[in-house]
Amino acid sequence: MSDFNDFNNPQVAALPSHLKQFIVDQHYGHYTPVDHAVWRYVMRQNYSYLKDVAYYPYIPGLQKAGLTIEKIPDLQDMNNALAKIGWGAVTVDGFIPPAAFMEYQAYRVLVIAADIRQLNHIEYTPAPDIIHESAGHAPIIADKDYHEYLSYFGSIGAKAMFSSQDFELYEAIRALSILKEMPDADPEEIQRADELVAWYQDNMGEPSEMALLSRLHWWTVEYGLIGTLDNPKIYGAGLLSSIGESASCMMEEVKKLPYTIDAVKYSYDITKTQPQLFVTPTFQNLIDVLEEFADTMSFRRGGTYGIQKAIDSKNTCTAVYSSGLQISGTFTEFKTEGNGQPTFIKTTGGTSLAVGNKQLKGHGKKYHKDGFSSPVGRLKGYDKPLEDFTANELTAAGIETGKDVSLIFESGITVAGKLTKISTENGKIILFKIEKCTVLDEKGSILFDPAWGIYDMAVGGTITSVFCGAADKDAFLEIAYKSNTGTHHPEYDQRTKELHKLYQQVRDRRHTGGDLGFLGNVWMVLQKFHHDDWLCALEILELLEHEDAEPALATEIKQFLEQKAATEPEYKKLINDGLYLIKHPVEERLII
């Protein structure tokens, strides 16, 4: 992105290019007066209710994240505020792949969907929107224990193994969420998309590391409760940004379970309210559970377990030798010995070599375009791993540059040829370059033939770690999987544009003061051309009631709203909650 805007925020500026591809402009001017009214309504409701059930002080949290109740946040304002606590924020187009989402967290950058929910989905939207992402996630970022958990989760999630089924489910969920936000979506099309998501969820096979981690993320970051089972408080963003579920989740019908590693056994459906929630006593417990799960993952277990997971994944993965050498490519084969440790590993197609997540010069995937293979293990007759040999020990073993070598491994694999270069990094031998090289397995079968070119042999006694993705993603030119499905952006007809003007007039009056008489005209036009609207009517009533003006007009609007609440069930809670806030207003000083 040549015109990449880093908002003068160090965390955003540090993002690698493979993550920058997901960033879109916020286009702040595209938000309509109705959008701002939706934001304001949800935020006022949130404050009214959440001040008693949210874990953290809601308003101070909003302020530390650069948010107000009155208007949709501007990314620059958010970045100015978040930079003070070592975080940043960017806008993206709806759901992004889980691996990328996790990596953003590791870089301490909040990913915020640029869109905002429609008025008819004001209580809850299955699609990520700016209310969920900023009002849900951002205010709690100021809590140090929590944001340490969030970034640590991201660093672990970025290494998680994922499968092709994960991508198929991601695409199906993204398509469904987009459909559900479209005002004129075909109900049959929504049903088909719903069924497709259900089918993928039921046919995932054994869940991948990423799928299991996503469950832990869901039951903590999105839907977590903290405290005691009898008196929990909300900290999960999914609950904090849903004015419906933040209230219903506290009811007895929603089971409250202690948060332990067992939470990975509970799958979730993003389109439905949650049948159970998990309560953690502290944020430290979240880290403890994450550590417990991380210990089961390939990046910590390495060995044959990790290599097999890499082969099953069919994605670019990285195997790390005990010398620190990282092999990134598509793993297709390995050999093992009696103790279960790999003795030989092989990739197919473009492969790169790196150390410390930085690609080694001359060892990109163009050079290793046909794949890479190498033994793993110790030389026969030596207790010391080859990577730790001193110069004298190499000479004593007959290993010298410019001379022919014959390396016999404990596994029986032999490597013979002319050694032309020994590469070291951080005090460890990592690579031998061998010309006219023959590699044979313990049965004498050819693993590498001199006719295939120069042989680069990785040096390392064990495979200590295996993780998804390339070690040096940008050098690998790894474009993370990106959906071709775009989110829906509405085209407004003339009638809707006229409605926007009415909302803007009410908004302007709230901000600037002045005569209230013209609100009667706004109400008249609403009644004539936009009889379904309830939110603009509520905002007019709020102004009239708070300033004790135009009592006859106020009575008329109130009767209209009460009648609508009584006869149209879908508006009952929304209108009654709005009327409650007129009588019990949010303090003005908190909403500016």
Tens-place pLDDT, residues 92-145: 987 788 888 899 999 999 999 898 988 887 876 666 789 888 888 888 888 889
Neighbours of 584 (CB within 10 A): 8
d(CA 438, CA 428): 24
Is residue 245 within 8 A of residue 132, CB to CB? The reply is no
- The pLDDT assigned to 340 comes to 78
> What are phi and psi for residue 176, nearest 5 degrees?
-65, -45
Helix/strand/coil percent split, the chain, to 5: 45, 20, 35
d(CA 562, CA 554): 12
d(CA 378, CA 422): 17
- The pLDDT assigned to 17 comes to 87
d(CA 371, CA 486): 35
222 in a known ligand binding site: yes
**Low-confidence residues of the chain: pLDDT under 50:** 1-2, 588-592
137 in a known ligand binding site: yes
- Cα torsion for 319, 321, 322, 325, to the nearest 10°? -110
- The pLDDT assigned to 588 comes to 47
Q: How far is CA 133 from the centre of its chain?
A: 11
363 in a known ligand binding site: no
Q: Provide the residue type at 317 as one letter.
A: C
List pLDDT tens digits, range 358-414: 999 999 999 999 999 999 999 999 999 999 999 999 999 999 999 999 999 999 999
List pLDDT tens digits, range 460-490: 999 999 999 999 998 997 555 555 555 556 7
d(CA 352, CA 469): 12
- The pLDDT assigned to 458 comes to 98
pTM for the structure as a whole: 0.85
Q: Of all helices (H) and strands (E), which one includes residue 551?
A: helix 551-567
Of the CA atoms within 13 Å of residue 101, those in its CB half-sphere come to 18
Q: Of all helices (H) and strands (E), which one includes residue 436?
A: strand 428-440
First and final CA of the chain: distance in angstroms? Answer: 35
Structure-block tokens of residue 48: 């009214």
DSSP string spanning 118-160? -GGGSS--SS--HIIIIIIIGGGGGSHHHHHHHHHHHHHHTT-
Neighbours of 421 (CB within 10 A): 13
Q: Provide the residue type at 425 as one letter.
A: E
Angle, CA of 416, 421 and 422, to the nearest 5°: 95
> What are phi and psi for residue 420, nearest 5 degrees?
-110, -20
Helix segments in 324-427, DSSP class H:
391-396
> What are phi and psi for residue 404, nearest 5 degrees?
-70, 140
Structure-block tokens of residue 144: 């140090």
List pLDDT tens digits, range 310-341: 999 888 999 999 999 999 999 999 999 877 79
- The pLDDT assigned to 424 comes to 98
Q: Looking at the DSSP assignment, which residues form a beta bridge with residue 90?
A: 111
d(CA 430, CA 64): 47
Is residue 59 within 8 A of residue 253, CB to CB? The reply is no
Is residue 302 within 8 A of residue 308, CB to CB? The reply is no
Share of the chain above pLDDT 90, in %: 68
